[in-house]
Amino acid sequence: MNEPRDPHYCQTRPLPGRWRPLLLISVVAALHGCSTLGSSKHGEEKSASKEAGAAPLSFKVDVVSDNRRIARHLERYLDIQRFSNFPDLQAGELRRLLGEAESNSRDLLAALGYFTPQLNLKAGEPAGESGMRRIVIEVDPGEQTKIESHDIRFAEPMNSDPISARQRRAIQRDWLLKDNDPFTQEAWDASKTAGLRALQRERYPTARIADSRATVNADTSLAGLQVTYDAGAPCRFGALKLEGVERYDAEGIHNIARIPTGAVYREEDLLDAQQRLVSSGYFDSAFLLLDSSERNPDEATVIAQLREAKMQKIVFGIGFSTDSGPRLSVDHTHNEMWPLGWRALNQVEAGTNTQSLATNWTDMPKASGWSWNTGLKLERSDYGDIKANSVSLTGGRSRTADKTERRYYLQYDASNAEGSEGPHSSSSLMGNYAWTGRYFNDRVNPTRGHGIAAEAGLGLTVTPEREPFLRLDVRALQLWPFGGRNTAGKRSRLALRAEVGAVFAGDSVNIPANLLFLTGGDTTVRGYSYQSIGTRLDDGSIYGARYMAMGSVEWQRPITVFGDAGNFEHTLFVDAGTASDKLGDAVLFPGVGTGIRWSSPVGPLQIDVAYGTKTQKWRLHLRVGFQF
């Protein structure tokens, strides 16, 4: 088979073997001569440079402008800054950098929306013994360009699809760059990406930007924006394909993921399934994606790339919180504990205020999503000012759906307070039903949405007397965004929290200590120590109460720190709570304060300083992660 010949190809005859050594010696000698000549020439140039006594070409760039924000931006990002102390900078290279500084400045200003700047560059002579030059760039940025109009288009068939009308309206409504807003390249890119992500999150995972343009009129400082989205074909969930499952039951893994086969694709459903697989404990990592080679978008295969966790694992931990102080912990996980084959999590924790030993066993979920579970916990803990030993044994079923979690279970509790001043020992048996709904836009760092949880238990004290009682606990959180967006698309919001708990029983009935209510601390009423708000005994000690209520109003607003406008927030808050055995004796404990939030990969890092108006003391509160 003949291959096509390169037109520049030249065929030569090979040299006879006896000539090859002679040719090699000649080439090496010639190269050595060239190297010697080059070295000599370089040495002469270097010597001449020394004799001339040339000073190093170091310099300092100063940007002068009435707009200090513009000046700082240019001083930070100009390319010429990288060579200000370059050791081998030559005069020709410096002239080239000076020639490019003006165009580089114009590019940086254009990215901020300034398209008609006036620039004046001055390069001074070396000054002082250091020979440092001063390069001054005088900048009048002119008028910043504003948005005159924005046109958002959708390619067919989505453009005429009535089912997609809601998505189209949402993208147009939530468009970041509104008319009369200042134009910046960063905001323009963020706006296009936000619209694309809104499409990709629901029905159209293969959506793309087909065309985009920003037309700027330099004379009027107005810009017209246009973007066209090509949504592609709408997708529905198909079958789940597992990759990397060898040790654990594949059917049980399908029941954990619960992909809604046949339903319209939603990224949130995919992430929910992925989160269930990760939190199940059977996998070190789980990543779900649609098969990109799928030819039938109505039955798009979901691929689960899984890495199984080891059968057993031991984790040693050390931690600190402003609520409970320092603590040590040991967690042992067995993913197929004998004899039931259930997953067991065994925990030992030793802290300043609490020492506990616990084990929880959980079955693989059935096709319905329900799974059996049981647990035992032995604890020695502070309940207000009273230290008590308690035992809790539970058993029941639970089911975690897309946004809700349901549990019903039997619970046996027994507690014994230490010291003669504490309440008498008691035990109880209670049937419970718990429901939790989480409707937030993000599981790790939510910015809007709400959550509500309710738990009800009907019980009977076993010792010292048999008396009925009813226990209720309801809590809620609302995140309400408002106001305009910053350059990173972030908005201010209000965070509203509330919790109410009650135990209804006769006045003489002894309720186990771990079923009573206390409040105060990092996650409840800031400005007060952990669980320091409760009912007062005759000797003045604080103990768990039968009634509890707390609420919080927090204003969270985005701030820019080190140029980061998307991950930091400042907060102002007011908390208040009370706990008492009698509603008429309730005393409100307010707390006010301020804090900083950082959206870390594992959730918000919260640093708060709060003042308790009852104690008239300041307290520091630290917390990592979002929980509801």
Domain identity same for 430 and 477: yes
The verdict on residue 439 lying in a domain is yes
The verdict on residue 15 lying in a domain is no
The verdict on residue 440 lying in a domain is yes
Domain identity same for 263 and 330: no
Range of the domain at 161: 146-230
DSSP characters over 293-343: T-S-GGGEEEEEEEEEPPSEEEEEEEEEETTTEEEEEEEEEEEEETTTTEE
Domain identity same for 556 and 614: yes
Residue-wise pLDDT tens digits, 54-93: 455 778 888 999 999 999 999 899 988 888 877 777 778 8
CATH number, domain of 69, equals: 3.10.20.310
Q: What Cα–Cα distance (Å) separates residue 494 from each residue in 483, 553, 571, 595?
A: 11, 7, 10, 14
Domain final residue pick, 230, 246, 279: 230
Domain identity same for 555 and 420: yes
Task: Check pLDDT > 70 for residue 143.
Answer: yes
Residue-wise pLDDT tens digits, 1-48: 333 333 333 333 333 443 333 333 333 333 333 333 333 334 443 333
Domain identity same for 614 and 475: yes
Is residue 523 packed enough to be buried (19+ CB in 10 Å), middle (13-18) or exposed (0-12)? middle
Is residue 204 classed as helix, strand or coil in its secondary structure?
A: coil
The verdict on residue 44 lying in a domain is no
Domain identity same for 411 and 433: yes
Question: Predicted confidence band at 538 (pLDDT cuts at 50, 70, 90)?
Answer: confident
More confident residue, 32 or 159: 159
The verdict on residue 189 lying in a domain is yes
The verdict on residue 504 lying in a domain is yes
Domain identity same for 243 and 302: yes
Q: How many domains does the chain have?
A: 5
At residue 347, the pLDDT reads: 96
Task: Check pLDDT > 80 for residue 124.
Answer: no
Q: What Cα–Cα distance (Å) separates residue 27 from each residue in 15, 21, 31?
A: 15, 10, 6
CATH number, domain of 589, equals: 2.40.160.50
Residue-wise pLDDT tens digits, 125-138: 766 555 677 889 99
More confident residue, 366 or 418: 366
Burial 345-355 (b: 16+ CB within 10 A, else e): bbbebebeeeb
Domain final residue pick, 308, 334, 354: 308
Domain identity same for 482 and 511: yes
At residue 129, the pLDDT reads: 59
At residue 35, the pLDDT reads: 35
The verdict on residue 515 lying in a domain is yes
More confident residue, 554 or 387: 554
Domain identity same for 387 and 534: yes
Domain identity same for 316 and 425: no
DSSP characters over 453-493: EEEEEEEEEEES---EEEEEEEEEEEEEEES---TTS--EE
Domain final residue pick, 230, 258, 283: 230
Q: Can you read off the two tokens belonging to residue 399? A: 């089911």
Residue-wise pLDDT tens digits, 447-477: 999 999 999 999 999 999 999 999 999 999 9
Helix, strand, coil shares, percent, the chain, to 5:
20, 45, 30
| Mean of per-residue pLDDT scores for the chain | 87
The verdict on residue 258 lying in a domain is yes
Domain identity same for 268 and 211: no
Domain identity same for 471 and 596: yes
> What is the mean pLDDT of the segment spanning 581-590?
94
